Amino acid sequence: MHFFNLFLIILIHQNPKSQENLKMAEAAISKGAEIAVGLMFDSISTPLGYIWNYKTNFENLERQRQKLDVTRTQVQHSVHDAMRNGEEIEQKVKSWRDKDY
């Protein structure tokens, strides 16, 4: 980094107009570094977030599974009532009802 700074100082002294170009180059390099750091952080933070929030994610999944079990039971009762009333049950409902999970 020191070499880069020295190079910039020499460049400025050689051509005063290059000072404007230098400021633009510094701004571009700074923005590029900011973007690179952001991308690196994002690529690391997402997997770490899964690990960090494992218990919460698992608890949320378990709650969703319980809701699905309740819904399945409600559908099974509706199917049973419909069959008892002589109604026809759609094939996709029969397939879903008969699957073991």
Consecutive sets of 10 residues in the chain, 101 residues long: mean pLDDT of each?
Answer: 59 61 71 78 79 91 95 89 89 79 56
What's the pLDDT at 85?
Answer: 92
Q: Do residues 58 and 48 both lie within one domain?
A: no
Q: Do residues 22 and 66 both lie within one domain?
A: no
Structural domain boundaries, residue 72:
54-101
Q: Do residues 6 and 18 both lie within one domain?
A: yes
Give the span between the Cα atoms of 46 and 59, in whole angstroms.
19
What's the pLDDT at 45?
Answer: 77
Q: Do residues 80 and 40 both lie within one domain?
A: no
Collect all residues with Cβ–Cβ distance below 8 Å to 22 and sequence separation of at least 6. 8, 11, 12
Q: Do residues 39 and 65 both lie within one domain?
A: no
Residue whose pair of structure tokens reads 């051509």 in the numeric block: 15
Q: Do residues 48 and 2 both lie within one domain?
A: yes
Q: Do residues 37 and 47 both lie within one domain?
A: yes
